[in-house]
Amino acid sequence: MPRKIELIWDFFGDDSEGTARHHAVHLEEFMRKENKPFLKIDIRLMDVSDALASITIDEELVVFVRDRLKPHRARLVEV
């Protein structure tokens, strides 16, 4: 069973939540256009001026997505 990885993009500032939501839309569009599966796309508000957008994918797709979309960080997801 492949490991699950969450790729994360951080956004800061007054419109961080709006930017994260907008980025999440583009994450889904990209994965559908490239015909690549994903498990989940998420938006989390960490603070008033700190939000993130993330996508959870199988480990085998990490290099493909990382090289094209340049996430800020990643973490192993416990399933």
Assign residue 62 the CATH number of its domain.
3.30.70
How far is 70 from 8, CA to CA, in rounded Å?
9
Q: Which domain holds residue 26?
A: 4-77
Encode the chain (79 residues) as per-residue pLDDT tens digits: 889 999 999 999 999 999 999 999 999 999 999 999 999 999 999 998 999 999 999 999 999 999 999 999 999 998 7
Task: Mention every residue, 6+ apart, whose C-beta is less than 8 A from residue 44.
Answer: 20, 51, 52, 54
Is 42 buried (19+), middle (13-18) or exposed (0-12) by CB count in 10 A? middle
Q: How many structural domains are present in the chain? A: 1
